[in-house]
Amino acid sequence: MFNCFLCTENKFTSTNQYIWHLKVYHNLDSQSLYTCKQDNCFRDFLGLHKFRQHLNRTHANKSNSITQLNVEIDGPLENDSGSTAFDPNITNENSFGKNIINCTFKDIVTNNVSSFIAKLYSKPNVTETLLQEIVEGVNELFSNEIITHLKKKVFSVLTNYDTSKKTEIEEMFNVLENPFLEFKTKHLRIKYFENHNLFFKPTTVVVGYMKQKKKVEGIDRLLMVPVQGHLLSFKSNLKSFFELPDIYETALKFTNDSLSSTGILTSFLNGSTWKKIKCSFSDKIVFPIFLYYDDAEMGNPLGSHSGIHKMGCVYYTVPSLPPEYLSSLDNIFVGYLFHSQDRGTFKINNYDMYKALIKELIDLETNGISITVNFKTYQIYFALGLVLGDNLGLNSILGFVESFSANHYCRICRSPKSDMQKMIYESSETLRNEINYDTDINLADSSQTGLNEYCIFNNVPSFHVTRNSVSDFMHDITEGVARYDMAFIIKNLIDLKYITLEIMNSRIEFFNYGVTENKNSPPEISSTHIINGCIIMSSSEMLCLVRYFGLIIGELVPKKTEVWRLYILLRKIVDMCSARQIQPECSVQLQALVAEHNQLYLSISKGTLKPKYHFLVHYGQLLLKNGPLILTSSIRFEAKHKTVKAIANAVSNRINLGHTLSNKIQLQMISRFLSNSGLKPDLNYSSGSHVVSPFIEFPSNIIFNLPPEFKCNSFSPVWLEYKGLMYKKDMLLVLEINSAAGGCLFGEIYKMLVNETRVPYFIIKPMLTVGFDEHFCAYEIKNNSNSKLIGCYMHELPDTTPTIARVLGNGKLYASLRSGA
């Protein structure tokens, strides 16, 4: 028997019956979130296909067998009692009685067709032309002889029924003969979704006019044509998003928890920037918004027409959601699109280009939006927290000089280039503020100030470019300083005859990265990269290389090698910048590490500091202002480009590409709003085994401390994923951070338990920590045969990021952290 996870009193004898119930009476579709809840199973499945597979493989053999009837439709069927088998008055004991939703057959068909259309719209490669062909083809399939023949056969069986019943069934067949009646054309489809508040037509904004050669009656003429931007409604999309299940409650809880926590920085909400913004809203419910700007090439970036179809993309997200949800591309929204070539000093300036966007942001902050959640109405507001992007993108959108060879290229300070090339500490005297910013604007000389124009985003009440300053960890370090440092370090180690490029590449290839890092393993490093002084690889690959470089070749490098000290400093900086939780006091330590790093680089290289080295000197204060630096990185926003590019690649027409993209992106969101898909589950796990008797499987000390809810009802999976992190047996977890005891104390996962509380519980075998080996940037650990198993909840761990033990050539075990704990 299958129990419905939404109305637990219902029981179903077959998988198909259960799935039909979920579709019809709970309006779930193939993309909805399903929870098992059969036989103490608590797994979540995002999608009907996986859920059905799980039921059939795991639980079908436990359900009652189904008696199949061979129905013959040539005549009326009668059972032993003489009543017709199709008699509607016969009630099945598994009837859905109490949960039947009172809707007509036409409504059911329309809802299913709208869901079908929405799914097609959600596919980036399904163009409007292809969708129209699919609709016409499916409609023709239904309207052909299939329904007519079926209708004829059914009515031959219903000879004993009264006229009203026959009429009702005939109307059903009429609906099936033309199921796409309300969706036949693009106009009808858009009208339907607009009427149901599922589609919000993007606004085309005329931002200016430009001269363009056009043919008029066969003659080339120079005409003034409008330049357009395309705005997707922030208010409408945020309202629909926050009315999805659990979105508002999760954001509000995380916001309140972050504001009340002290002593640790876990998000932007802990930083001084947001705390100052929050004060101006008194008792109102307000959430921050992050904007992100970047250019994305929609054509072939290496082709002869590269740059022509490059789009300026403005994305946004709400950092009031926990970090594990922020990384999902579904929770990053497209806000504004325009052709990159249209913007520029001698074309359309920032004021005209972003005026409509600024108006939308001001409206969100001053008027907010009204949402209805669980039959209650709330007025919520949104304040612009940060504008994110790479350095060139930020300098352009915020009105700074767009050249890093300029005399004043830094957005955060006014130091001249000659000082920045050797600066190791931040100069408080040269920091930009609102007063000297206004002075520099009035001076109107970019060579002396680094300002091209007044920042239009300063018109948003919560924002000022000198207050809401930010820098990007991804572009500054993993695609900046780390590229230069690692090339410089490797070149020096080769020159010192400690390694060769072949040996290093071999060690990189065969290093044990573990299941958590396999997909980020760095590629082979070419000699060209070393000669050019810059290693080219992706951000995640470079981050992986820096994390494990000490373990990869550290045993080949003598201790106290000067250039190796540069790597150790880089590794420490990366650890602090990639930490998802960090103490405010670490800002001072980060400043000291950056100063020592930059000083050592100047000393060894005999050169000057590149711009990205200078940006690091501001990271200490940015940590206090904006919280963990990794959470203001643009790495996930850049991944959003794939969504936009996929749409552009499916469309051959490049006329008014911004209009095409904005409409398709908005149409893609219909499926989520229609299926009512909120946040993806933070706990996923594999198949495994039920813990029948903990008293047999675990030692007495574990039984004594085991929480009551796990003593009688728990499940042990082979692997589990919690808040975006993967856990498996034999992985290592940090049990304690204690400098007196050698730093971090590690434990090996012996067993993982889950139940309906949805918080994993670990049975762990503690290990001995010998100490932290700075040369390898890892902890030396040992197996402890005398240790007793211990148990703890996930949230009781000081650092939830797993790692693995690695054996080096010296025969010792080492554990390297993947975060800044």
What would the pLDDT profile of 205-254 be if each residue is shown by its tens digit? Answer: 999 998 888 888 888 888 888 999 999 999 999 999 999 999 999 999 99
Q: Are strands 285-297 and 376-388 parallel, antiparallel or unpaired?
A: parallel
Nearest-angstrom CA–CA distance, 632 and 271 = 12
DSSP string computed for 80-145 = TTS-BTT-TT---TT--GGG-----HHHHHHHHHHHHHHHHHH-TT--HHHHHHHHHHHHHHHHTH
Tokens (6 digits) for 519:
């997909």
CA–CA gap between residue 770 and residue 745 (Å, rounded): 9
Q: What is the pTM of this model?
A: 0.88
Distance of CA 767 to CAs 108, 169, 811, Å? 59, 71, 16
Bridge partner list, 314 = 293, 336
Q: For 146-175, what is the mean pLDDT? A: 85
Tell me phi and psi for residue 230, to 5 degrees: -130, 115
How many other C-beta atoms lie within 10 A of the C-beta of residue 509?
12
Length of the chain: 821
**What is the average per-residue pLDDT within 115-143?**
92
User: Hey, where are the domains in the chain?
Assistant: 2-78+85-161, 203-399+453-470+634-675, 473-632, 683-815
Nearest CA among 393, 339, 455 for reference residue 637: 393
pLDDT for res 301: 76
Pairing of strands 369-373, 376-388: antiparallel
Those residues whose C-beta lies under 8 Å from the C-beta of residue 106, and which sit 6 or more positions away, are 171, 175
Lowest mean pLDDT among 23-37, 230-244, 388-402: 23-37
Task: Return the residue matching tokens 């760095």.
Answer: 522
Instruction: Give me the phi and psi of 173, to 5 degrees please.
Output: -65, -35
Summarize pLDDT for 265-301 with one digit per residue, the tens.
999 999 999 999 999 998 899 999 999 999 999 987 7
Q: Which residue has the higher pLDDT, 49 or 404?
A: 404
- CA-nearest of 670, 650, 604, 649 to 122 is 670
Residue 68 has pLDDT above 70, yes or no: no
Calculate the dihedral angle through the C-alpha atoms of 665, 671, 677, 679, rounding to the nearest 10 degrees: -20
- Which string of DSSP letters, residue by residue, matches 269-300? GGSHHHHHHHHTTTTSEEEEEEEEEEEEE-S-
Q: In this model, does residue 308 exceed pLDDT 50?
A: yes
**Phi (first) and psi of residue 726, to 5 degrees:** -95, 135
The one-character DSSP state at 224 is E
Would you say residue 82 has pLDDT above 60?
no
Quote the CA–CA distance of 624 and 170 in Å, as a whole number: 70
Helix, strand or coil, per DSSP, at residue 771: strand
- pLDDT score at 385: 97
Q: What is the pLDDT at residue 76?
A: 40
- Token code pair at residue 100: 């039947």
In the predicted model, is pLDDT for residue 114 greater than 60? yes
Residue 62: predicted pLDDT: 56
Stronger pLDDT, 50 or 189, i.e. the higher one: 189
Place of tokens 């939404």: 6
pLDDT digits (tens, 9 = 90+) for 335-377: 999 999 998 766 899 999 999 999 999 999 999 999 999 999 9
Q: How confident is the model at residue 42 (pLDDT cuts 50, 70, 90)?
A: confident
At residue 204, the pLDDT reads 96
Position with higher pLDDT, 369 vs 651 = 369
pLDDT at residue 99, rounded to an integer: 39
Q: Which helix (H) or strand (E) holds 738?
A: strand 732-738
Which of 273, 271, 268, 277 is CA-nearest to residue 381?
Answer: 277
Round the CA-based radius of gyration of the chain to a whole number and report it: 31
The string of pLDDT tens digits covering residues 137-153 is 998 887 777 888 888 88
Mean pLDDT, rounded, for 696-722: 80
* Token pair listed for 13: 């004898």
Q: Is 702 exposed, middle or buried (0-12, 13-18, 19+ CB in 10 A)?
A: buried
* Residue range 559-594, pLDDT digits in tens: 989 999 999 999 999 999 999 999 999 999 999 999
| Percent above pLDDT 70 for the chain | 92
CB atoms < 10 A from the CB of 246, how many?
Answer: 12
Is 383:365 a contact under the CB 8 Å cutoff? yes
For residue 290, what are the contacts with CB-CB under 8 A and spacing of at least 6?
268, 316, 317, 318, 319, 385, 386, 387, 388, 632
The conformation of residue 715, written as its DSSP 8-state character, comes to E
Q: In the prediction, which pLDDT does 102 show?
A: 62
680 DSSP 8-state letter: P
Express each pLDDT in 438-477 by its tens digit: 999 999 999 999 999 999 999 999 999 999 999 999 999 9
Whether the predicted pLDDT of 77 surpasses 50? no
Q: How far apart are CA 179 and CA 449, in angstroms?
A: 65
| 759-798 residue pLDDT tens | 899 999 999 999 999 999 999 999 988 888 899 998 899 8
pLDDT at 528 over 90: yes
**Phi, psi of 202, rounded to the nearest 5 degrees:** -60, 150
**Which fold, 683-815?**
SH3 type barrels. (2.30.30)
Alpha helices in 479-585 (DSSP H): 482-495, 501-510, 527-532, 539-553, 562-577
Judge whether residue 610 has pLDDT over 70.
yes
Residue 458's H or E segment, with its range, is none
Give the model's pLDDT for residue 52.
85
- Please state the rounded mean pLDDT for residues 21-32: 76
On the CB side of 392, CA atoms within 13 Å amount to: 6
Q: Is the pLDDT of residue 95 over 50?
A: no
Intra-chain end-to-end CA distance of the chain, in Å: 48
- Element containing residue 535 per DSSP (H, E): none
Highest-confidence segment of 18-32, 144-158, 298-312, 784-798 = 784-798
Q: What is the dihedral of CA 159, 161, 165, 167, to 10 degrees?
A: 30
